[in-house]
Structure 1
Amino acid sequence: MCSVGRLVQLTLVKRVYEWSKSTSGLQFIPKKWNWFCVIAMGNSSGHNNTMTIPPGKGPHQVGCTDLMVGHTVQGTFMRIYYPCQATEHPHLPDWVPCREYFNGLADFMKINRALSERIFNYLFGSCKIPAAWNASFKPDGKYPVIIFSHGLGAFRTLYSAICVELASQGFIVAAVEHRDESSSATFYFKENAEPGTKRHMSSDISKPVSDNLEEVWMYYRPLKTGENEFPLRNKQVKQRADECIRALDILFDIHSGKSVENVLQSNFDLSTMENSMDLCRIAVMGHSFGGATVIECLCKEVRFKCGVALDTWMFPLDEEIFPGVKQPIFFINSEKFQWIGNIIRMKKLDSAIFPRKMITIKGTVHQSFPDFTFLTGNWIGRLMKLKGEIDPHIALDLCNKATLAFLQRHLSLNRDFNQWDPLIEGKDDNLIPGTNITIPHSSI
């Protein structure tokens, strides 16, 4: 009965999905099916009917690998994107690494796991990241480094469009997967007394090197009834910053030629990255909760020379740390997410000494930065606020170019990214200098 029920569910999802491609039925969706149909129709009416994560536009082909250092929850987990050697038929990794992440997304969205897993897998299970899995590293001088922090309910792979583009332009990008219970899902390992008896996750790319390690999954922790949110989020943002700094420490070890043990089985040779990083040119970048993590990192770690904060959620931060942030910050905001109180807190970081820049991309929403914006159809994407009114390719292109110009300016890079300097000032038809939010003068 269970398997029959699952087959019926999947068949129904497929039928609703195929039916949704026709606009004839859109006015007649029964109310109780609205949410189900919204998810099931997520991949209809796409951008030229090809809903894929865009490849990098820079001169380098991009590879990626996963690195877990320390198997316990106190260890560090990240996906590294890097310039790689050219290969004709690269193996592209799945965008969502395994089914447990679908379960985490379901929990975060407060929908049924069993049904949502089939829907998500049907809609997104074949999506690939445009980066060659475990491809050979490309030595080419020393690459500047970016540590990337994801948003609330996300995980390490959901911002691959941004990370791939930056790597294609000659950066090593480490996307941290946070273990502060703000990810929709993540995992670590515990030692098992009976080696070889435990089944590991459904993905082959994240198997442990030791048979006596058993994966433990950590899912998003929602607020408890009556719980004050600030203490939780403030504790999490501090842990997130510590995780980013540990990731940076590991990259320093790899650069210096120290032996770094990957808990995960991997064909990627970390020793090929020895002496490959420009450790005087390091930036931190993040979206939403990750934007708050950027500011916390800048306060805690002077090795970060500047920060790029995408649609930052300022709530988790202690304002007492603001005077301690001495590095340049670039706020890139969406048009629809921000509000007066949040912008006022950003403005409290303004300085006559340390550069602070802010732009807003017209027609964007909060989810215009993660990859979902490329993988959902136009009208459904807008209904679910995964897409704004602007073409997501145009929006992310502006974000990436402005970021690269800012990084060249404040990391003193010898590149041609300064051709996009006007974007830092919001000089483009699709940009607003500063913010679209009107702030009362008394608040300033």
Structure 2
Amino acid sequence: MLRKNKQFPEPPGEYIVGLNEMSFTDPARQGLFDFAPDEFREVPILIFYPSDDAQNREPSLYSFKEEAESFKKASKGIVSANNRFMPIPAYRDLPISENQERYPVVFFNHGYSGHMMQNVVLCCDLASRGYIVVSVGHPYEAGAIRYPDGRIVMADEAIGNEFKHTMARNQPTFKTMKKRSYSDEEIRPAAANFFENFKSTKVWNHIRIWADDNMFIADMLEKLNEQSSGSPFAGKLDLELGFGITGHSYGGCTASQVCLDDARFACGVNIDAPTYGDYWDRDLQKPFMILGSELMDLLARPNFLANSNDAYLIIVESTQHMDFTDMIFYAPQLKLLKLLGKRDKTLLRDVLSSYHLAFFERYLRRKENADMDNLKFEGVRVRSKKAMNPSRNHPPLFHET
């Protein structure tokens, strides 16, 4: 049985959160992996969206057996598989709210070996404030995927092991980097030296697979939005705004790459991801926020510095990588493995959700009065870079708090 203190917080917004699941097969991508040469890429999504009434339905559950067992195994039994029975603040197949004619769309991407609901609190928080949030699954590299028809696809062990070996091989270089501080002029060559060790590996190259998953789903959402689609979301997606995108860890790398590659994505967020991928020191030319642990100041700062548009680098002190996921609510014992830091879970949720909401209000909904500079949290360092007039090639202005 779950202890009573293991529960997810209620969303802060005015909407009840609905939940829908779909999957789409991409006829243009076949045989992405050697072990499945004839298989077309099938991408699942979870859609969190604004609704008005839970209609006396039971809330959805957090996970499923195979997925929960995979995380129990990965944690060597420290994380209980019973967490799959935790209710989430979302209800399946509710009618979408008619309060607004259309709603802005934000993509979410899980981390490597993560799962589609790993940031369900963030997804529900955004949906409760009037966003349609599309969580994209990445088969064979998520811990487990369950398609709407019940089929299960587990993570491929060989690919996962190759990723782990690549990371382990480069840990000494990273530990050396952490022993010193770098000026803005010094950080790019230092990061370039570190990333050079990854460029021929799957860690670097599979970002392209994940980015293509997102761009394909964007194509499918455009079709769903057509009135002739018969979808409950027909006409409800505000595509004129473009898409927003966010993601944790490898999903944060994905969000960055998608912003570089696809003009439909108007702005994005990297949650605690080293910048693996060819975007790492490129000018995204779009509003972009990097938010995470002090790791970001080493391995994501070049991406912040290169951006000629509005950019944010937000460091949450005394945090670890998994502090930016739902694990803060159900697996506090991971502090023993130093996968979670010392910060209060309520504060961490407030930081993650508040900055996401303010960012997307400002740069996706384009509300001029949505001011991220007004957000203040203890132990959170903010650097922002505002492009005063990019069309005239004016240098951006830096602001630090």
Matching of residue 223 in structure 1 with residue 223 in structure 2: no
Amino acid in the other structure paired with 2:265: F
Deviation at residue 345 of structure 1 after TM alignment? 3.4
Deviates more, 1:126-135 or 1:166-175: 126-135
RCO comparison, higher one (Cα < 8 Å, 6+): 1
Task: Find the aligned partners of 1:287 and 1:347 in 2 and give their Cα distance.
Answer: 17
**1:371 Cα shift?**
0.8
3-state SS of 1:330 partner: strand
> Alpha-carbon deviation of 1:143?
0.5
Q: Does 1:285 align with 2:235?
A: no
Aligned to 1:170: 130
Counterpart of 2:49 (choices 82, 101, 104) is 82
Contact 1:92 1:128 in 2 (8 A): yes
Counterparts of 1:319 and 1:415, CA distance in 2: 28
Q: SS where residue 114 of structure 2 aligns?
A: coil
Matches within 5 A, 1:188-199: none
- Structure-2 change in CA distance of 1:320 and 1:219 (3 Å): closer
* Counterpart for residue 266 of structure 2: 305
The answer to whether the Cα contact below 8 Å between 2:205 and 2:277 also exists between their aligned partners in 1 is no
- Give 2:211's aligned residue: 241
CA distances 1:244-295 after superposition (whole Å, capped 9, x unpaired): 1111111111111343xxxxxxxxxx62211111112221111111111011
The one-letter amino acid of 1:253's match is: K
SS of residue in 2 equivalent to 1:251: helix
Q: Could you give the per-residue CA deviations for residues 292-332 of structure 1, whole angstroms, max 9, x where no partner exists?
A: 10111011110000001111221x21258714x22111111
Matches within 5 A, 1:180-191: 181-187=140-146
Structure 1: which amino acid aligns with 2:123? C
What root-mean-square deviation, in Å, do the aligned CA atoms of Structure 1 and Structure 2 show?
2.8
Whether the aligned pair in 2 keeps the contact of 1:322 and 1:348 (CA below 8 Å) is no
C-alpha distance in 1 between matches for 2:127 and 2:373: 20
* 2:302 is aligned with 1:345: yes
Q: Is contact 1:402-1:421 (8 Å) kept? A: no
Q: What's the counterpart of residue 356 of structure 2?
A: 403
Kindly provide the CA deviation profile for residues 399-429 of structure 1, in whole angstroms up to 9, marking residues without a partner as x.
Answer: 211222221222244497x265423xxx432
Query: CA–CA distance in 2 between the matches of 1:421 and 1:100?
Result: 43
Change (3 A) 1:373 1:385: farther
Matched, 1:393 2:346: yes
Gaps of 5+ in 1: 1-13, 15-42, 189-205, 209-213, 260-269, 436-444
Against the structure 1 CA distance between its residues 107 and 348, is the aligned structure 2 distance closer, same or farther, given a 3 Å change threshold? farther
The corresponding residue for 2:107 is: 147
CA contact (8 A) 1:187 1:218 kept: no
Task: Name the SS of the counterpart of 2:41 in structure 1.
Answer: coil
> Secondary structure at the residue paired with 2:348?
helix
Q: Could you tell me whether the CA contact under 8 Å between 1:156 and 1:175 is conserved in 2? A: yes
User: What amino acid is the match of 1:92?
Assistant: P
Point out the structure with max Rg over C-alpha: 1
Report deviation, 1:87: 2.3
| Corresponding residue pairs, total | 337
Q: Is the 8 A contact 1:373 1:386 kept in 2?
A: no
Structure 2 Cα separation of the partners of residues 303 and 86 of structure 1: 32
| Alignment match, 2:86 | 127
Give 1:103 shift: 3.6
- Deviation track 1:190-225 (CA, whole Å, cap 9, x = no partner) reads xxxxxxxxxxxxxxxx435xxxxx655444532349
Q: 2:316 aligns with which of 361, 372, 382?
A: 361
Match of 1:431 in 2: 380
Distance in structure 1 (CA, Å) of the matches to 2:344 and 2:260: 35
Conserved 8 A contact 1:82-1:171: yes
Distance apart, 1:338 and its partner CA:
4.1
Distance 1:284 1:338 in 2: 18
Counterpart contact for 2:288–2:312, Cα < 8 Å: yes
SS at 1:277's partner residue? coil
Q: TM-score, normalised by structure 1?
A: 0.69
Task: Please give the alpha-carbon distance, in whole angstroms, between the structure 2 residues aligned to 1:236 and 1:187.
Answer: 21
Distance 2:19 2:87 in 1: 12
Q: Is the 2:13–2:129 Cα contact (8 Å) retained in structure 1?
A: yes
CA shift in 2, pair 1:415/1:130, >3 Å: farther
Query: Cα distance, 1:136 vs. partner?
Result: 1.7
> Counterpart of 2:306 in 1: which secondary structure?
coil
Q: Equivalents in 2 of 1:286, 1:319: separation in Å?
A: 15
Give the partner amino acid of 1:422: N
Over 3 Å counting, the alpha-carbon distance change for 1:102 and 1:229 in structure 2 is farther
Q: 2:149 aligns with which of 207, 210, 222?
A: 207
| Percent identity over paired residues | 22
Task: Name the amino acid aligned to 1:84.
Answer: S
In 2, the alpha carbon distance for the partners of 1:76 and 1:431 equals 36
Closer/same/farther in 2, CA of residues 321 and 361 from structure 1, 3 Å limit: closer
Query: Deviation string for 1:344-389 (max 9, x for gaps)?
Result: 43345343xx111111123322111111111124xx2422335332
Alignment-mate amino acid for residue 225 of structure 2:
H
